[in-house]
């Protein structure tokens, strides 16, 4: 007897099949965002295919403008084994708002935004919007091709950290005056090119309900915030920056999410995205939920999200927020508020494996991109290879350097001799990770003062201190990041509620600081000695790190093969040293390439020689030396 084979239904590309379930269940469906969410399709006729993961829901309906928000109109079909609900709605159209009406196990109805939505209603609204992001227009082929060969270790990386909503606003408008993505693209490009940054890092781009969270409490992981325009506008911005040779980094938040009723918290009436045990699943200090890194589908949600920004929207890197809070089970918790791992320790073993998987996949699939860790502890091998038990990040924020540096700079110059080690200690561990030196938004809020107002003294002293600080940072090994407004010595602390105080640039001291930082950035970009050996001890040499009582630091940055080297001399006291002698490793002439005493930087404008010829006279342990009149808080950079 011949048995007939059961006919297998041929799936449409948008439909979810067995392979999708298998990969999502394993945590390896790296393009799951193309299946879950709302996608415009043609199934006989045009409409929208909705798919949502709600494993413990009793039932799910999609409600929206297309069906009068009627929960009975478009009930979704449950697919096993993972509990993914799907429905095709021919009446649904681009731009319409929608939500999922979820019936929980207890029979309660809850209304949730789509975790995979690509667009959202402008806050305070909380609905998702149907939008098609599958046909974005890109003309940045040259950038994307060159990115494949780009190496963050050997190339210049100077980052301008920006909060879009408060960088610049339209004055006098009845609405909030935000620049759109398109307007911002053109304005920021002009400014960044003038200043000399290589990359822009954008805070708070994924959709979030509360402005005061700065974008670090996300409800729409797959949606560029609607505050500044559509996803197409967002793509235009990335494309525009790339065409002008500027890289884009986004802040990315896989550590926690808010409890807003429309968000991920208790998504199907149970802890779906978060750990079920509140001792693992909640941050008591932040009032937020913690992702369950043990659950494959949750890991998949986050890894696919990282790939979505980098592959679909051409973003060049992600700065991963609050990494330390993910690595430690007891982060920000008291005894009794956390659960040890199976070995009795405080390490989150699932988060560690998540990072290794995340970084291996993102960087493996996208050569030339960056995964950057904001990690504030001494966790080993953050930028080490996963094969060697590292976490696999490209770069790590150097929070130790930032703390020591800012604490030193706050001191009255008279007391700096007692804290001299705070400026030299960082070189003891400079090569243990691939570092970025950061002066970020976190350092200029919550009564910490702006960078200028951290500086001691009044008037000239404040500005001169800041110039010396920025020069030291530029010369120190490590990539660079500075938060917006600090490049022109913003007086007030930053607030997301207003634009930067651009009017300060009408005052000479602020313009002079901007001139100084601009020329430091251009010096940095132009000289491989300042970036190509950041992770190699051969790239840095102290000339004198022990001039404690005069608080002067001198050092050399070497290029590969020592073809072109830069000597930095930084004076951190208000005492001029007219007879200052500095040692050099060679008899070759030294050319003064940057002098903080120039008039355009707020200095005296006193004329100085351009060329200095070392003589055979021992100084600073070097065979050769030359004399240079070093002003109060003076900085001089020489090329040889």
User: Active-site residues: which are they?
Assistant: 321, 374
Distances, alpha carbon 170 to alpha carbons 150, 176, 239, 500, 594, in Å: 36, 8, 23, 12, 36
CA angle 360, 162, 228 (to 5 degrees): 95
Which of 482, 507, 485, 508 has its CA nearest to residue 495?
Answer: 485
Which DSSP symbol is given to 610? S
Q: Are 63 and 56 in contact (CB under 8 A)?
A: no
Tell the residue number behind the tokens 């009627």, with chain if given: 70
Distances, alpha carbon 80 to alpha carbons 54, 487, 513, in Å: 11, 55, 62
C-alpha 288/C-alpha 356 separation (Å) is 24
Which of 374, 7, 312 has its CA nearest to residue 159?
Answer: 374
Tell the residue number behind the tokens 């001039």, with chain if given: 547
Burial track 298-327 (b if 16+ CB lie within 10 A, e otherwise): bbbbbbbbbbbbbbbbbbbbbbbbbbbbbb
Which of 333, 352, 337, 424 has its CA nearest to residue 393?
Answer: 352
C-alpha 472/C-alpha 416 separation (Å) is 15
Q: What are phi and psi of 495, to 5 degrees?
A: -135, 135
Other CB atoms within a 10 A radius of the CB of residue 434 amount to 22
- Give strand ranges (E) for 151-305: 158-163, 199-203, 206-207, 220-224, 247-252, 282-283, 288-289
DSSP assignments along 459-523, one per residue: THHHHHHHHHHHHHHHHSSSEEEEETTGGGT-SSPP-TTS---GGGGGSHHHHHHHHHHHHHHHH
- Give strand ranges (E) for 65-157: 77-79, 84-89, 97-103, 109-112, 128-129
- Give strand ranges (E) for 6-103: 37-43, 45-53, 59-64, 77-79, 84-89, 97-103
């Amino acid at each position: 007897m011949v048995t007939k084979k059961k006919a297998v239904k041929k799936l449409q590309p948008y439909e979810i099949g067995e392979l999708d379930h298998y990969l999502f269940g394993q945590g390896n469906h790296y393009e799951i965002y193309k299946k879950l969410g709302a996608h415009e399709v043609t199934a006989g006729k045009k409409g929208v295919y909705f798919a949502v993961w709600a494993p413990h829901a009793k039932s799910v309906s999609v409600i929206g403008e297309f069906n009068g928000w009627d929960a009975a109109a478009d009930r979704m079909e449950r697919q096993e084994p993972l509990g993914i609900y799907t429905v095709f709605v021919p009446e649904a159209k681009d731009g319409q708002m929608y939500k999922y009406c979820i019936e929980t196990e207890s029979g309660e109805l809850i209304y949730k935004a789509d975790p995979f939505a690509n667009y959202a209603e402008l806050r305070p609204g909380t609905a998702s919007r149907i939008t098609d992001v599958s046909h974005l227009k890109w003309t940045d082929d040259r950038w994307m091709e060159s990115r494949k060969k780009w190496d963050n270790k050997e190339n210049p990386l100077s980052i301008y950290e920006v909060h879009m909503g408060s960088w610049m606003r339209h004055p006098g408008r009845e609405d909030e005056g935000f620049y759109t993505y398109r307007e911002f693209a053109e304005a920021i490009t002009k400014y960044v090119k003038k200043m000399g940054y290589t990359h822009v890092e954008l805070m708070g781009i994924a959709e979030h309900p509360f402005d005061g969270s700065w974008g670090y409490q996300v409800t729409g992981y797959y949606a560029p915030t609607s505050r500044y325009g559509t996803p197409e506008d967002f793509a235009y911005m990335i494309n525009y920056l790339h065409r002008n040779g500027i890289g884009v980094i986004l802040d990315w938040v896989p550590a926690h999410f808010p409890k807003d009723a429309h968000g991920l918290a208790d998504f199907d009436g149970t802890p779906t995205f978060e750990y079920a045990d509140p001792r693992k699943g909640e941050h008591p200090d932040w009032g937020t939920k913690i992702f369950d890194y043990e659950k494959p589908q949750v890991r998949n949600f986050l890894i696919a999200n990282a790939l979505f920004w980098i592959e679909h929207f051409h973003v060049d890197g992600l700065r991963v927020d609050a990494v330390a809070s993910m690595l430690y089970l007891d982060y920000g918790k008291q005894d009794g508020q956390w659960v040890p791992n199976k070995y009795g320790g405080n390490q989150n073993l699932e988060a560690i494996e998540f990072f290794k998987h995340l970084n291996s996949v993102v960087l493996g699939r996208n050569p030339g991109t960056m995964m950057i860790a904001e990690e504030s502890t001494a966790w080993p091998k953050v930028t080490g290879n996963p094969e060697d038990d590292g976490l696999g990040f490209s770069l790590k924020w150097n929070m130790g350097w930032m703390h020591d540096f800012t604490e030193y700079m706050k001191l009255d110059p008279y007391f700096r001799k007692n804290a001299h080690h705070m400026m030299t200690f960082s070189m003891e561990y400079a090569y243990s990770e691939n570092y970025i030196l950061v002066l970020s938004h976190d350092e200029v809020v919550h009564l910490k003062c702006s960078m200028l107002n951290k500086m001691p003294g009044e008037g000239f002293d404040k500005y001169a201190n800041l110039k010396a600080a920025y020069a030291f940072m530029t010369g120190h090994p490590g990539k660079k990041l500075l938060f917006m407004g600090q490049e022109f010595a913003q007086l007030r602390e930053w607030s997301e509620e207003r634009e930067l105080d651009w009017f300060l640039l009408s005052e000479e001291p602020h313009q002079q600081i901007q001139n100084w930082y601009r020329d430091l950035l251009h010096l940095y970009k132009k000289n491989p000695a300042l970036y190509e050996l950041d992770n190699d001890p051969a790239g840095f040499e102290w000339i004198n790190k022990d001039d404690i009582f005069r608080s002067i630091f001198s050092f050399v940055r070497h290029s590969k093969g020592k073809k072109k080297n830069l000597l930095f001399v930084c004076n951190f006291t208000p005492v001029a040293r007219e007879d200052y002698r500095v040692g050099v490793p060679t008899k070759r002439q030294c050319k003064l390439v940057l002098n903080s005493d120039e008039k355009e930087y707020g200095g005296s404008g006193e004329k100085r020689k351009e060329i200095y010829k070392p003589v055979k006279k021992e100084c600073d342990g070097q065979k050769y030396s030359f004399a240079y009149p070093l002003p109060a808080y003076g900085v001089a950079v020489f090329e040889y």
